[in-house]
Amino acid sequence: MSTRIRLTALAATAALAATGGLITATPALAAVTCAPAVWKVQYFGNSTFSGTPKLTACDAAVSENYGYGDPAGVTLPKDNFSVRWSLTRDFGSGGPFRLSAATQDGMRVYVDGVRKIDLWKNVSTTARRTVDLTVPAGKHTLRVDYVAWTGLALAGFTYAPRTEAAVDTVKPLAPAGLTAVYNREGTARITLRWTANKEMDLAGYRVYRRLGTTQWAKVSGTSPLTSPSFTDATPATGQTFLYEVRAVDRAGRESAGSLDVTAVTVDRTGPAAPTGLSVVGDAWWATLAWQGVADAATYEVYAASAATGPFESLGTTTTTSYRTGAPVNTARYYRVRALDTFGNPSAYAAVTGDGVDRTPPKSSPVSLGSVVRADYTDVYWKQPDGFYEDFDNGGTYHVYRSPGTTLDPAVLTRVTCADEESDETSTGGTCHDLDMPEGTYVTYAVAAVDPAGNESALSAPLVVRTGDRVAPGPVTGVRATPRADGVLVSWAASNEDDVERYAVWTGARQADGTVKWLGPTSCREGTSDPLAVLCGDLPDGETYVYAVVAKDLWGNALLPSDPKATVVQATELDLRPSVTVVRDWDLGGMGYGTVIGGPAEDGPSINWRCDRTAECDDVVGYRISRWNAATEAYEPLHAGLLPAETRAYTDTTAARGTTHFYTLEAVRADGGVAGTHVWNCVFQDRV
């Protein structure tokens, strides 16, 4: 066995101290400071650690074999001397440790002053002891006391973390002191540095990076870093990156992340190249369009007459389209690139245009309407957008028609318009259709057409019932019902789709059986029933014939004398008074406010004059009377006489739907009658 191994090391302490070596020694009375995790060792010339140490030094490990002698470099007795090692260090997150002692003779081991190993006995063979314990996080002090009594002297002690995953459940502490420095002018790289962790079982570090609120991504590789620094080559995109560092131990447990740091990169990266670049031409313009690119602030547009250039700049735009003048039917080559806010360009996107106009007008005609006659149909429309450029250079409109009430693309007919008109600003037009089928439904649609023949989408459809020269058929269900205010003529609605209105004719049958038609002027319509009218004048028992004919939108109608027309006959009621009154009024003119049911809401009225001075000066008042069929008498409508200056009267109590008979008497002072006027009023209740 070799002896005095550590003594030889101690003999070299002067040279090591001069060069900053690990083991240093100083005189016993001098203060000694050892590096962290390095033992401070004290040598005593007795077995009780008493008095002033003979030597104080720094020792990298407790591993001594003195043999039968004493430590080299210090004067101690070969028996009965003692050595004390101590250190205070940061254990980081702490965790499970194993303390191992081997000694000949006595050894005691303390952690923070608490004895953990006790081999305090003079032995002739090596005594060994192993202790597993958990060291809390932070700083702790270890102390090893060794005494050599007699015989061989040997001292060995180690402490080490236990790194089995099943045993070590303590994560490392999160790294501290993380900084980030970005080299903007040179490498455009980010250098990260942080304070080394204190854990003895540390395997290394992992560096994570993210943008904004995205997930953290490990950027330090598959193996943990063994030094507290890392250089990241991020893309120079002007983005702000966040970093954190996590420590990982030999059990594979990862710490929480350090405090985050940020680094803002310089933007030297252009956007992605535009995609989907296309060119659509018309007779005057080429319109380029492409998909928007993230991070693009502007786009540059170039054109050339040859694929190899040279390309000239057409301009810039902040949108995703560009319109430029282009030669007709001539190839032209375009390219577009995006630039970000720092002027970094993307790659070019390229497209070739042939100058052929394939672009239809962008808007279809609107507001279609029609004017329909028996032998033609006029279709008119409006154009909502600026079609004038196409129109002024030969643009036009195409009018299409299909049978039925829906537009059927499979059976569309192009209409040949007679006297087609379009205004000079191309805001609309009219088509005079002479070739449409008569008496049926057709559906029209209109397209705007540019000079190259490109059609817009069809307009919204317009359904038209075309005209004809065929009169509607006979009206059915005709009835004539005498009433106190005339004859009510009613009928059933025609089932034909072009009927606009009905006409009711009144006629008188002649001695030879023919009918003399008097016209529809004596019949009046109301508002509540479109299929009935009230005809006639004074209900005095006369017999008339009635005919109802339907008139279509084009003015076609049967004459009442047509054999197909339905004719009915009715005799008026005779409501005339049974008492005859002589009309002898010769005092002045007469006027009537309501005759045959006029529009007055307050009843029939009359006005008069009294112009014969000699007779009228003797008139003291007037009496208005109305025939009461129930009493068969004329009964006054007012109490007493109307004043002599009265010249008008309205019967506000007259009932509608009947015929009223009246007398007006001018009464003298002696009670006699100066003049009598008789009149009647048919106060109709129209339907």
Contact residues for 298 (Cβ-Cβ < 8 A; gap 6+): 316, 317, 318, 338, 339
Q: Specify whether the CB–CB gap between 68 and 116 falls below 8 A.
A: no
Can you tell me the distance from the alpha carbon of 25 to that of 190, in angstroms, rounded to the nearest whole number? 44
For 49-94, where are the E strands, in sequence order?
55-59, 62-67, 81-90
Which class does domain 366-465 fall in?
mainly beta
Q: What is the pLDDT of residue 22?
A: 40
Stretch 469-474: mean pLDDT:
94
Q: Rounded to whole angstroms, how far apart are CA atoms 440 and 467?
A: 8
Q: Is the pLDDT of residue 104 over 80?
A: yes
Instruction: Give residue 590's pLDDT.
Output: 83
Q: Which of 29-38, 317-326, 542-551 has the lowest mean pLDDT?
A: 29-38
pLDDT digits (tens, 9 = 90+) for 556-582: 999 999 999 999 999 999 999 999 999
What's the CA gap between 456 and 462, in Å, rounded? 17
| Superfamily (CATH) of domain 479-571 | Immunoglobulins (2.60.40.10)
Flag whether pLDDT at 49 surpasses 90: yes
Q: Are 515 and 503 in contact (CB under 8 A)?
A: no
Q: Any idea of the CA torsion for 522, 528, 532, 533, to the nearest 10 degrees? A: -10
Task: Evaluate whether 96 touches 131 at the Cβ level (below 8 Å).
Answer: no
Please name the fold of domain 5-161. Answer: Jelly Rolls (2.60.120)
Q: How far is residue 93's CA from residue 294's CA, in Å, rounded to a whole number?
A: 46
Give every CB contact of residue 188 below 8 A, 6+ residues apart in sequence: 182, 233, 234, 236, 265, 266, 268
Higher pLDDT, residue 424 or 128: 128
Give me 107's structure tokens.
Answer: 């050894």
Judge if 5-161 and 275-353 fold alike in CATH terms. no
Q: What is the CATH number of domain 176-264?
A: 2.60.40.10
Closest CA to 246 of 221, 273, 224, 231: 224
Closest CA to 463 of 409, 420, 401: 401
| Per-residue confidence (pLDDT) for residue 101, from 0 to 100 | 97
Residue 526 in this model has a pLDDT that exceeds 80:
no
Look at the domain 275-353 and name its fold: Immunoglobulin-like (2.60.40)
pLDDT class for 636, splitting at 50, 70, 90? very high
* Phi, psi angle pair for 552, to nearest 5°: -90, 180
Residues forming a β-bridge with 377: 372, 433
The pLDDT of residue 599: 54
Residue 15 has pLDDT above 50, yes or no: no
Joined tokens for residue 342: 């720092």
pLDDT of residue 361: 87
The confidence band for 601, taking pLDDT boundaries of 50, 70 and 90, is: low
| Per-residue confidence (pLDDT) for residue 21, from 0 to 100 | 37
Convert the pLDDT of each residue in 156-212 to its tens digit. 999 999 999 999 999 999 999 999 999 988 888 999 999 999 999 999 999 999 998
CA dihedral 164, 166, 169, 175 (to 10 degrees): 40
**What confidence tens digit (pLDDT) does each residue in 53-91 have?**
999 999 999 999 999 988 888 999 999 999 999 999 999
Distance CA 75, CA 645 (A): 165
- How far is residue 500 from each of residues 11, 82, 325, 494, measured CA to CA in Å? 134, 134, 56, 10
Q: What's the rounded Cα separation, in Å, for the pair 503 and 551?
A: 7
**495: pLDDT strictly greater than 90:** yes
Per-position DSSP letters for 126-187, written without gaps between them: -EEEEEEEEEPSSEEEEEEEEEE-SS-EEEEEEEEE---TTT--PPPPPPEEEEEEE-TTTT
Helices of type H across 409-484? none
- 16 pLDDT higher than 70: no
Phi, psi of 47, deg, nearest 5: -100, 10
Question: 186-202: b or e for each residue (b if 16 or more CB lie within 10 Å)?
Answer: eeeebebebeebbbbbb
Distances (CA, A) of 253 to 92, 150, 201, 297: 14, 48, 10, 46
Query: Does 668 or 390 have the greater pLDDT score?
Result: 668
Percent of the chain beyond pLDDT 70? 93
Confidence of residue 2 (pLDDT cuts 50, 70, 90): very low
- With a CB cutoff of 8 Å and minimum separation 6, the contacts of 540 are 572, 574, 575, 576
Q: How many CB atoms lie within 10 A of CB 226?
A: 9
Q: How far apart are CA 253 and CA 256, in angstroms?
A: 10
Report which residue type is found at 568. V
Q: Using 50, 70 and 90 to split pLDDT, how confident is the model at 598? A: low
- Please tell me the predicted confidence (pLDDT) of residue 643: 97
What is the DSSP code (8-state) at residue 409?
A: G
Q: Judge whether 489 and 546 are in contact, CB under 8 Å.
A: yes
- 661's tokens: 């008979």
The pLDDT value given to residue 456: 92
Max mean pLDDT among 98-112, 345-359, 423-437 falls in 98-112
pLDDT one-digit tens code per residue, 113-132 = 999 999 999 999 999 999 99
Domain 590-683 has CATH 2.60.40.10: yes
Range 487-510 average pLDDT:
93
Question: Which residues is 158 bridged to in the sheet?
Answer: 100
Answer whether 416's CB lies under 8 Å from 435's CB: yes
pLDDT above 90 as % of the chain: 76
Over residues 383-387, mean pLDDT: 79
pLDDT tens for each residue of 225-264: 999 999 999 888 888 999 999 999 999 999 999 999 999 9
Mean pLDDT of the chain: 90
- Domain ranges in the chain? 5-161, 176-264, 275-353, 366-465, 479-571, 590-683
